[in-house]
A and B are shown apart, each in its own frame.
Chain A
Amino acid sequence: MLQNIKKKARAYSPWIFHAHAGGCNNCDIELAACFAPRYDLERMGIQLRNNPRHADILIVTGPVTKQISSSLRRIYDQVPNPKVVVACGSCALTGGVYNRDDGKPNYALAGPPEKLIPIDISVPGCPPKPESIIDGVMLALEILRKK
């Protein structure tokens, strides 16, 4: 019964931290649009915080540039358990438009985020529509309920 209350509370109030790891910022604008009046994530009790220590869900956007790769690892460690990581956009999944045609690695990237931190949910699109981001967050709530 107490376990039920715990799981319910975890699913009813997830707080999001948005880690911007390089890229063109379009995914960040779409994520900000999710908290705008048209698609309002505050209805589900979700708050966008700016402190990873307060967050449950970590949303990573952008291909990870070399300058931010150490910070991304530190941010991931600062999020308290239980946590869910969502990779948002093509760049966060496979490097997106920053891949070279001949398959060699890009000089500025440290690889997609999956090389640094374990990812739970992927949201495709370039940029992903706010509906896809909301679907991703609802899937994250299911995972949080199970953890």
Chain B
Amino acid sequence: MKTGLARLAKELLRNSLRPVTANYPAIPEHARPHEPGEEVRGRHRFDVEKCVGCGACQTVCSSGAISVTDSGIERVLRIDLSTCIFCGRCRDICPEEGLQLTPEIPSAQPYGDILKTFKVEHSVDLSSCVGCGRPTYPKKQIETVRMRIISNLDKVNVDSARRDMDIYLKYCLNCRRSLSYIFGTHPRKLY
């Protein structure tokens, strides 16, 4: 096809007979004929087994969409999808891989229902301090921390660490500080 006019005619004919338009509202799958890649960042999903409720996701959220609210003995992690910018920092920092971003894209809604549908929630149980009764940390977080320390310490220190953790992990931070000499769990006892 030497001449420009012949090439133009060929391209116009190809454009008219094969439009690339996706048949979107009619057939929803037609918009994405290939599998969406795993890197597509959509609605969040908390893994019920793995998430410990530590709140690390809230500290790195770029837009402040994640809120961690303690009420009573329950901690609720709420992600507001109308503020989220789907950057994925929360997923990257989660130490337990408990937060995943699925390829499901939230779709349009009438404005009144905005907070009811554009959010993802997860709740964990908090453990209460044996001494003062205030809620401390999530139960799963305490358990995970305990297991991880025991499995990573070297043989010399693991026994004493295990004995100390059995005592002080049941107390809140204030009670631990004021009672550590009595319990004998203060770190200076080793010197």
Q: Is the interface of A mostly helix, strand, loop or mixed?
A: mixed
List the A side residues contacting B110 at CB < 8 Å. Answer: 120-122, 139, 143
From A131, which residue of chain B is reached at the shortest CB distance? Answer: B31
Q: How many residues of B contact A (CB 8 A)?
A: 27
Please measure, in the bound complex, the distance between the C-alpha atom of A101 and the C-alpha atom of B59, giving whole angstroms: 9
Give the CA-CA distance A139 to B20 in the complex, in Å. Answer: 25
Residues of B97-151 whose CB lies within 8 A of A: 105-111, 114, 118
Determine how close the nearest CB of chain A comes to the CB of B109; give it in whole angstroms.
6
Cβ-defined contact, B109 with A96, below 8 A: no
Question: Of residues 117 to 132 in A, which have CB atoms within 8 Å of B's CB atoms?
Answer: 119-126, 128-129, 131-132
| Cα distance A14–B14 in the bound complex, in angstroms | 30
Task: Give CA–CA (A8, B24) in the complex, Å.
Answer: 21
Q: How far is the CA of A126 from the CA of B107 in the complex (A)?
A: 12
**Contact stretch, chosen from B3-11, B77-85, B166-174:** B77-85
Q: Known contacts A90-B63, A97-B63, A134-B25; decide if A129 and B105 are in contact (CB<8 Å).
A: yes
Determine how close the nearest CB of chain B comes to the CB of A26; give it in whole angstroms.
Answer: 10
State whether B24 touches A131 (Cβ < 8 A).
yes
Q: Is the CB of B118 within 8 A of A124?
A: yes
Encoded as 1 (CB less than 8 Å from any A CB) or 0, chain B from 58 to 84 comes to 000011100000000000000011111
B24 adjacent to A125 (CB under 8 Å)? no
Specify the chain A residue showing the minimal Cβ separation from B109.
Answer: A122
Chain A residue at minimum C-beta to C-beta distance from B20? A37
Cβ of B21 within 8 Å of any chain A Cβ, yes or no, is yes
| A94 CB, nearest partner CB in chain B, Å | 5
Given contacts A120-B110, A125-B105, A131-B107, contact A90 B83 (CB under 8 A): yes
- In the assembled complex, the Cα of A122 lies from the Cα of B63 at a distance in Å of 18
Decide yes or no whether A47 CB sits under 8 A from chain B: no
A90 contacts B108, C-beta separation under 8 Å? no
- With beta carbons under 8 angstroms apart, the residue of A38, A93, A114, A132 that contacts B105 is A132
A93 to B105, CA, bound (A): 16
* Docked complex Cα distance between A98 and B105 (Å): 22
Q: Sort A-B residue pairs by CB-CB distance and give the 10 closest, nearest first.
A: A136-B108, A93-B82, A126-B85, A97-B63, A135-B108, A123-B108, A94-B83, A40-B21, A97-B85, A119-B111
Starting from the known contacts A100-B64, A121-B111, A139-B110, 6 additional A-B residue pairs (CB-CB under 8 Å) come to: A94-B82, A125-B86, A126-B85, A131-B31, A131-B107, A132-B105
